[in-house]
Amino acid sequence: MARISDRDLFLKRLEKLSAPEGGFVTNDTLRVELKWEKSKYKAIHSSLRQEELIVVKRGRGGLVALAANKKADRMKVFVSYSHKDQDLKDRLINHLRPLENEGLIAIWVDHQIKAGDDWDAEIAKKLSSADVVLALVSIDFINSKYCYAVELEKALEREAEGDAKVIPVILRSCLWNKSPLGRLKALPTDGKAVMTWGDIDEALTVVAIGVRDAAIALLEDA
């Protein structure tokens, strides 16, 4: 009798635990059922998610379901920036689009606010529901009362409560590390400002990889 593969065993156990409704189950429940070490579970889990055979969503310890039964959960990404950095923001968004195509994230930027909408209320709503907040840091961001005292303050409150992840993205050199953002790991590598890289696209690619890793870590919190 042929030995069942680990990936097939994962899917069969998941199907068993989620029956009859086909709903989400916790990673801990499934891992205990499989009697696997955490490292093995995470490796198979990640492979099956990339093959789009399972979908995941946030919850205590992470939740997983068969892709045939549920829609994937995307990390909601809120982009906070100074409008003086709009060109760099637009270039970064282009580098993040593949993550949207991959089904990992859904990006929200303030230009998506529709005519007639309450600007402040819409921003507060999106910020309060974001999983990841990208703070696009420059001297204009730090000197912006709205970016710094409103959006960033709220984002850091949610980060302290464990409700969101704040990622500083250093666009232009400034004393950002003397701000409350200084305690957080920044992108690109070592917080080296995007504009100081020889190739801006390379710097933004590094940022996109970091955002991707963060989104996967949140979704696959196994």
pLDDT one-digit tens code per residue, 121-166: 777 888 888 999 999 999 999 999 988 888 899 999 999 888 889 9
- DSSP sequence for 82-143: -GGGHHHHHHHHHHHHHHHHTTSEEEE-GGGPPTTS-HHHHHHHHHHH-SEEEEEE-HHHHH
Q: Which CATH number fits domain 6-66: 1.10.10.10, 1.10.390.10, 3.90.550.10, 1.20.120.550?
A: 1.10.10.10
Structural contact between residues 139 and 148, judged by C-beta atoms closer than 8 angstroms: no
Q: Where are the domains of the chain?
A: 6-66, 75-219
Say what the pTM is: 0.75
Classified by CATH at the fold level, domain 75-219 comes out as Rossmann fold (3.40.50)
Residue 162: both structure tokens together: 């464990």
**pLDDT tier, 52 (very low <50, low <70, confident <90, very high otherwise):** confident
